[in-house]
């Protein structure tokens, strides 16, 4: 490059809801003789899904000038992408020139970008409060933030934080004085979505807990609910299996009656039981008859030596002797019960015949 030349780069870009375009010019000034050349230009039609409700993005800078960025926030649906893009743009600022030699964006730059957006959102939604606090005046009593006793730390990062009464609490500094964000803020929405992914699509409580480590978002619970509701993954996992509708309960279970007057019966087992003294170790199989009262759900348990009808009749006799007469007994029609029923019916018939004979004889 010959001496006496002044070189300027001029970058222009503009975007609307339909398309965006950018152009970069090189301008040289040699003793008042100015020439300019186009170096690169780019145009792009906006993707369909982002057409609705997107305000125009306008940036314009010339080399060495202060950067103007308007509404960058609304262009992104992912916090990480927003912060990386912001960090690249902020490198154009003189204060951040030291980062230009880095090939990648570092965490320090991401933090600076995040703080940049936090301050912008606070200035947008809490303009009055920020103005009053910067002048060291008390904020107005009608402010939404009055209960949070907010303050701005001018020595640190100029961010509006919750004052509160936790100055002496043994928690981290951001937890003690979380950053205040408005409910309608796009940044709050992006942060909540990020937390939702960081907590692996967890529920409301864990998300709120995670957010409050660093931020105090107004009406955060509503935003968290909206986030979970709009998440396709969560919706898929929340889907409840269809259940069979239960039928009306039978009369036996809803009409009041004495305990065990209407009972259900089933066997369970086999169980190994030991007969005689501990020393003998004579182990054999046995079953357990379970009588359940249909009304009170009380349970009576009897031992049945085996699956024969006789063993059941013994168990049933002990049950009736202990609990009183049973008017209705419901079972699963197992072979044992049918056999027992047949035996008892025959016994009843025999007794009836004998009784009739006796009556006739008398
Ligand atoms: Zn989810």
Please give the tally of structural domains in the chain. Answer: 3
How many whole angstroms separate alpha carbon 99 and alpha carbon 54?
A: 30
pLDDT reported for residue 197: 94
Find, among 21, 14, 17, the residue nearest to 50 by Cα: 17
Q: Give the residue from 238, 266, 301 where a domain finishes.
A: 238
Is residue 107 located within the same domain as residue 21? yes
User: What is the distance in A from the centroid of ligand 1 to the CA of 196?
Assistant: 6
- Same domain? For 60 and 150 the reply is no
Question: What is the pLDDT, as a whole number, of residue 222?
Answer: 95
Q: Do 338 and 256 share a structural domain?
A: yes
CATH number at residue 204: 1.10.340.70
What is the residue-level pLDDT of the chain in tens, covering all 362 positions? 566 777 777 888 877 777 888 888 888 888 888 888 887 788 887 766 544 444 444 444 444 333 444 467 777 888 998 898 888 888 877 777 777 777 788 898 899 899 989 998 999 899 999 999 888 888 888 888 888 889 887 667 889 999 877 777 777 777 888 999 999 889 999 999 999 999 999 899 999 999 999 999 999 999 999 999 999 999 888 877 677 888 888 888 888 889 999 999 999 989 998 877 777 778 889 999 999 999 889 999 999 988 888 899 999 999 999 999 999 999 887 888 888 888 889 988 998 898 888 888 87
What's the whole-model pTM score?
0.52
Q: Classify residue 219: in a domain, yes or no.
A: yes
- Of the three residues 77, 105, 121, the one that is the final residue of a domain is 121
Sheet holding 215-217: strands in order across? 151-152, 160-161, 179-181, 215-217
Give first-to-last CA distance, the chain, whole Å: 144
Residues 257 and 224 placed together within one structural domain of the fold:
no
Q: How far apart are the CA of 47 and the centre of ligand 1, in A?
A: 25
How many C-alpha atoms does 181 have within 13 Å on its Cβ side?
26
Cα–ligand 1 centroid distance for 199 (angstroms): 9
The rounded Å distance from CA 208 to ligand 1 centre is 14
- Residue 128 CA to residue 145 CA, distance in Å, equals 11
What's the full length of the chain, in residues?
362
> Which residues contact residue 228 at a Cβ distance below 8 angstroms, ignoring those fewer than 6 apart?
196, 201, 203, 204, 207, 234
Same domain for 117 and 159, yes or no, is: no
- The CATH number of residue 341's host domain is 3.30.420.10
Beta-carbon contacts of 176 under 8 Å, excluding residues fewer than 6 positions away, are 164, 166, 167, 169
Report the separation in Å between the CA atom of 238 and the middle of ligand 1, taken as the mean of its atom positions.
Answer: 10
Query: Looking at 238, 261, 290, which one is the last position of a domain?
Result: 238
CA 301 to ligand 1 center in whole angstroms: 50
Q: How far is the CA of 202 from the centre of ligand 1 (A)?
A: 7
**56 domain residue, yes or no:** yes
DSSP letters, 290-325, are EEEETTT--EEEEEESSSSHHHHHHHHHHHHHHH--
Q: Both tokens of residue 114? A: 């995040």
pLDDT at residue number 62: 40
Q: Which two tokens stand for residue 345?
A: 């019916």
Which of 34, 44, 37 lies closest to 13, judged by CA? 44
State the distance from the centre of ligand 1 to the C-alpha of 229, rounded, in angstroms.
Answer: 8
Q: How far is the CA of 192 from the centre of ligand 1 (A)?
A: 11
CB atoms within 10 A of CB 122: 24
Judgement on whether residues 259 and 323 belong to the same structural domain of the protein? yes
Question: What is the domain range of residue 233?
Answer: 146-238
Distance between CA 355 and CA 142 in Å, rounded? 96
Collapsing DSSP to helix, strand or coil, 20 comes out as strand
Contact by Cβ (8 Å): 302, 318 = yes
Same domain, 176 and 89: no
For Cα atoms 43, 49, 54, give the angle at the middle one, nearest 5 degrees. Answer: 70
Cα separation values, 242 from 239, 245, 345, Å: 9, 9, 45
CA of 272 to the centre of ligand 1 (A): 52
Closest CA to 119 of 181, 203, 177: 181
The alpha carbon of 212 and the centre of ligand 1 are apart by a number of angstroms equal to: 19
Give a yes or no: residue 360 inside a domain. no
Same structural domain for residues 150 and 234? Answer: yes
Please give the full DSSP string across 160-226, using - where no structure is assigned: EE---S-TT-SS-HHHHSPEEE-TT-HHHHHHHHHHHHHTTS--HHHHHHHHTTTEEETTHHHHHHH
**Token match 């864990």: residue?**
206
Rounded to the nearest angstrom, the distance between the alpha carbon of 234 and the centre of ligand 1 is 4
Ligand 1 centroid – CA 193 distance (Å): 9
Same domain, 266 and 194: no
15 & 113 share domain: yes
């Amino acid at each position: 490059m010959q001496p006496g030349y002044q070189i300027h780069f001029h970058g222009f870009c503009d975007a609307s809801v339909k398309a965006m375009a950018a152009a970069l010019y090189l301008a040289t000034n040699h003793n008042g003789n100015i020439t300019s050349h186009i170096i690169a230009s780019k145009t792009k039609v906006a993707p369909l899904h982002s057409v609705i409700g997107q305000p125009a993005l306008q940036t314009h800078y010339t080399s060495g000038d202060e950067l103007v960025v308007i509404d960058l926030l609304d262009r992104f649906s992912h916090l990480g992408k927003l912060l990386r893009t912001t960090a690249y743009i902020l490198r154009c600022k003189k204060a951040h020139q030291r980062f230009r030699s880095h090939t990648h964006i570092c965490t320090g730059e991401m933090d600076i970008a995040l703080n940049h957006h936090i301050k912008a959102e606070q200035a947008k939604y809490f303009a009055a409060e920020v103005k009053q606090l910067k002048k060291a005046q008390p904020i107005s009593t009608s402010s939404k933030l009055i209960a949070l006793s907010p303050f701005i730390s001018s020595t640190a990062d100029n961010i509006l934080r919750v004052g509160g009464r936790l100055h002496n609490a043994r928690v981290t500094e951001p937890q003690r004085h979380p950053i205040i964000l408005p409910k309608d803020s796009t940044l709050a929405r992006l942060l909540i979505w990020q937390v939702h992914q960081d907590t692996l699509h967890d529920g409301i409580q864990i998300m709120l807990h995670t957010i409050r480590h660093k931020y105090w978002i107004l009406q955060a619970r509503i935003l968290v609910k909206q986030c979970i509701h709009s998440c396709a993954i969560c919706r898929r996992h929340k889907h409840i299996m269809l259940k069979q509708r239960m039928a009306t309960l039978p009369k036996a279970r809803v009409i009041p009656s004495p305990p065990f007057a209407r009972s259900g019966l089933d066997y369970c087992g086999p169980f190994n039981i030991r007969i005689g003294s501990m020393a003998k170790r004579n182990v054999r199989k046995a079953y357990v008859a379970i009588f359940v009262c249909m009304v009170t759900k009380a349970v009576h348990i009897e031992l049945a030596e085996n699956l024969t009808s006789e063993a059941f009749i013994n168990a049933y006799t002990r049950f009736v002797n202990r609990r009183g007469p049973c008017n209705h007994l419901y079972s699963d029609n197992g072979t044992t019960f049918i056999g027992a029923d047949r035996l008892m019916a025959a016994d009843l018939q025999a007794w009836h015949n004998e009784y009739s004979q006796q009556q006739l004889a008398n």
